[in-house]
Every structure is written in structure tokens, then in C-alpha cells.
Amino acid sequence: MALTDSATGKVIRDYSIEQLKDAANMMRGYDLVELCAAGSGHSGGTLSMMDIVAALYLHVANHDPKNPNWPDRDRIIWSAGHKAPALYVGLGYAGFCDINDVVTLRKLHSRFQGHPHWLKLPGVEVSSGSLGQGLSISVGMALAARLDGKKHKIFCLMGDGEKQEGQVWEAAMEASHYKLDNIIAVIDVNRLQIDGWVKDVMEVQPLEAKYASFGWEVLRVNGHDMKQLVDAFEKAKMIVGKPVVILADTIKGKGVSFMENVAGWHGKPPNREELDAALKEMGLTERIPVEKLLDRAKNYQAGQDRELAAKMPKFSRDFWWNSGDTMKVKMEPTRKGFGKSLANNGSDERIVCLGLDISGSITISDFYTGKPERANRWFSMGIAEQSATSAAAGFAREGKLPVLGSYATFMSARNLDQIRVSICYGNFNVLIAGAHGGVSVGPDGATHQALEDLFAMQGLPNMSAVVPCDIEETRKATDYLLLQHVGPKYIRFAREATPIVTDEKTPFVFGKANVIRLRKESANFADAFETRLASDYNNESEDLSILACGPMVPEAMRAAFILKQDFGYETRVLNLHTLKPIDAEAVISAAADTGVIITAEEHQIGALAWRVSGLLTESKQLYGKPVITAAIGVKDRFGDSGSPWEMVKELEVSAEHIAQKAVELMKIKKK
């Protein structure tokens, strides 16, 4: 079949093999333009997929762009959600949306989220981004189709690295068990993943034999030969009694010579020069209106900028980071503090590090980089968070000091049962790094923004949880957790550069809060504040307290500055870097001394706020004393694509939002 009018059953348009080849080439061009306009995103795997996408969306799948929810349509499930830009040009070319709109990719409120969201864009069947889930969704859809007597097919698109997720094989078993011949899986076998070649990261081959032994029909094609692809799809549709998988051999970065077979292009967009060179190589310079498209993206962004600015709380002047002549701050990503600590301490022979195919960007690779003598204590585990978590427990049982890390959401949610039973119940000494925490992955969107991880991590008996506020505190916290603290431990840090507000001399004591007080406006932001251990601090009867952790500590400090400048209020900022065990004494003293408590967390409200409110309600010291409270944090919603700082504003977790709330509470206090 092909693009069909669901009302009449007539074919709207069919493409010849030559036309499909040309469309795939054009789609590669649009793919690179949208990635360039976004300034982030996945080039390599979208280019390797594009012939498959053209064949499927323009020729093979039976669907109607004017009626995207047509009950009889074929379903296309993008298990590899990071290839969203290819999906979007597929939809654009098939007529589900305007191809010119895809350049709003990864921008705030765009329908073209960093990872696909079916509630935003018609034609997207399900939301994805956490690898390894699409085949299971396909099984559910295939069984539902059988129940309803429907004849449509479910195509499921996956990567070869993705095969490392155990869930894929659970689904493969189910599809075979139920003889789901309405499933046609396609694997983009480009042999690369983030950390390098699949065979080196964690071998998944021989896929042919594996799928065959699971009871699947296996077809193998050159994924860049349009005729072979189309024939394989047609053949797959005719197979009865078992699911079919098409193994498509491809080249990552296909079509752009400097991207082909280069692992570094996995999650990188082309800049303008690279875009021009790529389009020239593909013969598309004259065929794609690059300037117009990039302008469209810029205009969209300008509109978002205006709307966001209008929504921000207003003060006497702009207090945003580095907007004035004084109070200048340096920023660096907290993740680098984690890597530094691993590099410094890694010679301890007990330490073993487990890689989960995101090693460079979370800096766990600093453990072995330039230190070949440590190579035998580095274990690449592939994209397999669940198994690696239990493996870490095994290492710990044998007296090793295992460290593992990935995106905080995949490192705390996907493997939660393994953390709970394998690690926490056994009280094993494992350091779990929740990297890229909070909104710091920005344009990747909601699937990748960890905004719930601290609920689970704090809720587990035996687990300790630390959320350092800057690069220096992350280094100190890692030093401590790695070599001194024994037991299950979770450290959460960020991807984006955030303000540096501590130095070598700033105290860091596990389980003990710091009090931070604004003393005087200074050239450098950090110099304007004095920091002491809460236990060494004498009450100054401040007007209010802001209790914060992680990157919200600098925001709380900036809020203290705004409150002093515009309203004359004195603020006690409490840095609660250790969330569990929390420094109860410091929290209760702040409430008793100031009577106003605002919690600030870059997380769904509650990880910090509810712990604090639990302490306040149970404290005998506070019986009969009024304490006015409020919580700044994410208000029970998912994030969105957008730059990390845009998300800080959009989710209302900036210093301005804290200060606005403080002014509200101070009015109540004064009554």
C-alpha cells in the first residue's frame, strides 16, 4: 500500500524506487537543517535511518496524513526515540505536517520535541526516548489489533545498540509466543552507539541467529538499497504465523562523508559551515531553502523568548546571572567535579567503574582516560541499566567499590527494583551517579529530564542521597562518598554549566547543612556571601530562610540578593546538599529563628519540601510557633524541550520565582 485516502480507499500518492531515493536524499537535507537550527540533536542515527524512513512513510505503510488516527492505519513505533528528527521529516514528507515547521525542533513548546511526544504531534503513535520500550508497546498494540480483528501492521524501529536493553528480548519472546505476525521490527544496524562500536561496548551480534532462535522470521538487507528495502517490507507483510525482523545494514552518518562511521556525530548537530558542506555534498544546495528555514526557526525562538520574558516576575532591575556590572559569576558543569574526583581517587584498587554508553558526557570516563593501568577496572556494560545495577551489587559483595552512572532518570527509575533489592536491601557499598539531573539536559525534553529521581532514591532504606550545588562541591561530595561513606549512595549532578559558588575552603560535611549569608554586593558573586557549617552559625534573626539543594542553591543566593536590594530583607540560605540524612537541626533552627521557610528544588515539589515539612510538623521545638512555608519546584508536570535556562524559567524555579514567593510570605509574616 502507500499513502491512502482513508475515506475513499484511493492511493493519494505512490513513489517509484527512484522517487523514494530522491525523497530520502531530500529528507536527509531537511534533517540536517532542523538539527542545525536546533543546535543539538542526533545526526548520525537519523542519517543512517533515512532510507528506511522514506520507504516506510512514503510507500510501505498504509496511512492517511489527513486522518492520522484512522483506525485501520499501519502503526509505526519509534523505539529509538532519539531519532525523532528523522521521524519528523518522514511525517513532513508524507504530509502529516508542514515540512517547513520541523525547524522548530527542540525549541520550547514546539510540537517537535527532542524525543517524540504523541500528545503534541499527530502522526506520532507513542512517546519514546527511554530506549528499549518500543517493541513491548508494539506487542500490546499487536495483541489489541488481534482482539479487534484488525489487519494493520505494527512497524517497530530500533537501533542495534538498543538491543542491549533486556526488555527488548522480553518483548521478542512475547511476540514469538503469541505468533504476532502483525509485527514487523526494523533494526538500523549501523554498528555504532555513543561510546563507540557496538561490538566493543557490548556485542549484540549475531542478531540473525538470536532472533531466529527466538522464533522470528529474519530478513537481512542493505539498508541503503531502496529496492531491497521495499522488497523486504513487502515480503515481511506476507509472512504468516510469526513476527518478522528486518536487519538493515546501514552506515551511521550516511550521505555526509565527514559524518560517516564517526561515533562523535551520534549526538551532535552540524554547525552552519558543516551544514552547507553536507548539503553541497548531497547536491541539495539549490533545492532546500536553508536561509528561509533558519529564519523561520529564529522567528519562532524570538516569539518564545518574548513570551517567557513576559511571564517572569519583575523587580527594580534585571538581576539575571551576569546581567550587571557587579556580582559576576563563573559557571561550569557540576558533572566535571564528578570526573575530577574519579580521576584523582581512581588508583584505589577496589574501585571499579561501570559504563552505560554515555561515559564521556557524564565524565565517568575520566576514571580511565590517560590511565591505561586502570583499564582492567573499567567495565562497559552497554545500554543495560538494570543488569549493570545488579552487577554492581555483585562487585560490592566481593569487596569492590563499584561506581555506575547514566542520565539520572535512567539511573534511578528504570532500574529502581534492582537498586531496591540488589543494592539497598543487601546494604551494598555502591555509588550511583544520577548525571544530567533536573532540567540540565534541556532540549532532549521531558523523557530525559530527571525530575522525580530523588523521591525514589530518598525513599529507599539504607540509601544516602547527595545533591551538590556546584562543580567544587560535586568533587568534594564524590571524594567523600567514594572512599569514606559505606553503603548505597546516590549523587545527583547536572549537565549544563551552573554558577560556581563554593571554593576549596568552603566546608562540606556529609549530612550537615551550610548556612550562606549575603554580606555585601561584590565584584564576584561568590565573594558577596559568607558560608559556615550550620552547626557553627549563630542566629542573626533573619527575616526568612530559603532551604535549597543542588543548582537551586545559587538561585537561592541570587534570590537573597534580590530580596536585600529591592526589599531590604535578610535571608538565611541553607545549602542542604545532603538530602538523606537531612540536617534536621539546621532546618528546625531556620524555622524557629526566622518563622518563614521556602524550599527550593529542581525537581517535582516534594523531594525536599515534604521532607522539610515532615521535620517541621514533628518538631517539639516548633509547637505553638507559627512557621509560614512555601515550596518552589516543579508543579506536578513533565518538562519540555528548551534550553536548560529556559526550562528554569518555564518551570518557575529561578531566583526570581523564589524572591516573588518570599515577598508574598513576608506580607503574611508582617500581618
Ligand X SMILES: Cc1ncc(C[n+]2csc(CCOP(=O)(O)OP(=O)(O)O)c2C)c(N)n1
Residue numbers of the site for ligand X (CB under 6 A)? 44-45, 48, 80, 82, 129-132, 159-162, 188, 190, 192-194, 252, 266, 357-358, 383, 406, 410, 414
Quote the least distance from Cβ 204 to ligand X, whole Å. 9
Burial class for 297, CB neighbours closer than 10 Å (0-12, 13-18, 19+): buried
| Cβ-contact 139, 171 below 8 angstroms | yes
Quote the least distance from Cβ 146 to ligand X, whole Å. 28
Q: Which is nearer to ligand X, 193 or 498 (CB)?
A: 193
Element (H, E) at 571: strand 571-575
Closest CA to 49 of 230, 234, 254: 254
Handedness of CA 606, 611, 617, 621 (dihedral sign): negative
Quote the least distance from Cβ 80 to ligand X, whole Å. 6
Please state whether the peptide bond connecting residue 554 to the residue before it is cis, i.e. omega within 30 degrees of 0: no
Quote the least distance from Cβ 512 to ligand X, whole Å. 34
Q: Which is nearer to ligand X, 132 or 270 (CB)?
A: 132
| Cβ-contact 59, 53 below 8 angstroms | no
The residue to which cell 514528507 is assigned:
93
Q: Which is nearer to ligand X, 188 or 555 (CB)?
A: 188
Quote the least distance from Cβ 419 to ligand X, whole Å. 15
DSSP state of 394: H
> What does each C-alpha distance from 9 to 161, 275, 455, 482, 627 come to in angstroms?
39, 40, 51, 64, 67
Q: Would residue 525 be called left, alpha or beta, if left means φ above 0 and alpha means ψ between -120 and 50 degrees?
A: alpha
Quote the least distance from Cβ 411 to ligand X, whole Å. 9
Quote the least distance from Cβ 410 to ligand X, whole Å. 4
Q: Which is nearer to ligand X, 319 or 410 (CB)?
A: 410
Quote the least distance from Cβ 470 to ligand X, whole Å. 25
Rounded-to-integer distance, Cα 614 and Cα 606, Å:
10
Quote the least distance from Cβ 137 to ligand X, whole Å. 14
Quote the least distance from Cβ 246 to ligand X, whole Å. 15
- Neighbouring CB atoms inside 10 A of 242's CB total 16
Q: Which is nearer to ligand X, 448 or 661 (CB)?
A: 448
Quote the least distance from Cβ 639 to ligand X, whole Å. 15
Quote the least distance from Cβ 82 to ligand X, whole Å. 4
The residue to which cell 507559627 is assigned:
626
Q: Which is nearer to ligand X, 152 or 254 (CB)?
A: 254
Q: Which is nearer to ligand X, 48 or 62 (CB)?
A: 48
* Contacts with 655 (C-beta within 8 Å, 6 or more apart), sequence order: 319, 555, 556, 557, 558, 559, 561, 562
Quote the least distance from Cβ 517 to ligand X, whole Å. 41
Q: Would residue 58 be called left, alpha or beta, if left means φ above 0 and alpha means ψ between -120 and 50 degrees?
A: alpha
Question: Residue 298's beta-bridge partner residues?
Answer: none
Closest CA to 499 of 454, 559, 450, 442: 559
Closest CA to 239 of 215, 206, 222, 223: 215
Which grid cell is 209?
Answer: 541467529
Q: Which is nearer to ligand X, 401 or 457 (CB)?
A: 457
| Cβ-contact 498, 334 below 8 angstroms | yes
Q: Which is nearer to ligand X, 123 or 132 (CB)?
A: 132
Q: Which is nearer to ligand X, 168 or 608 (CB)?
A: 168
Rounded-to-integer distance, Cα 615 and Cα 440, Å:
29
Q: Which is nearer to ligand X, 188 or 640 (CB)?
A: 188
446: amino acid identity, one letter:
A
Query: CA 339, 343, 349, 351: dihedral to nearest 10 degrees?
Result: 0
| Cβ-contact 499, 331 below 8 angstroms | yes
Closest CA to 207 of 246, 165, 261, 251: 246
Q: Which is nearer to ligand X, 63 or 266 (CB)?
A: 266
Q: Which is nearer to ligand X, 266 or 340 (CB)?
A: 266
Q: Which is nearer to ligand X, 130 or 578 (CB)?
A: 130
> What does each C-alpha distance from 30 to 37, 66, 89, 197, 297 come to in angstroms?
10, 22, 7, 27, 13
Closest-approach residue to ligand X (CB): 159
Q: What are phi and psi of 85, to 5 degrees?
A: -60, -35
Quote the least distance from Cβ 485 to ligand X, whole Å. 26
Q: Which is nearer to ligand X, 199 or 314 (CB)?
A: 199
Closest CA to 440 of 129, 653, 632: 653
| Cβ-contact 520, 486 below 8 angstroms | no
Quote the least distance from Cβ 163 to ligand X, whole Å. 7
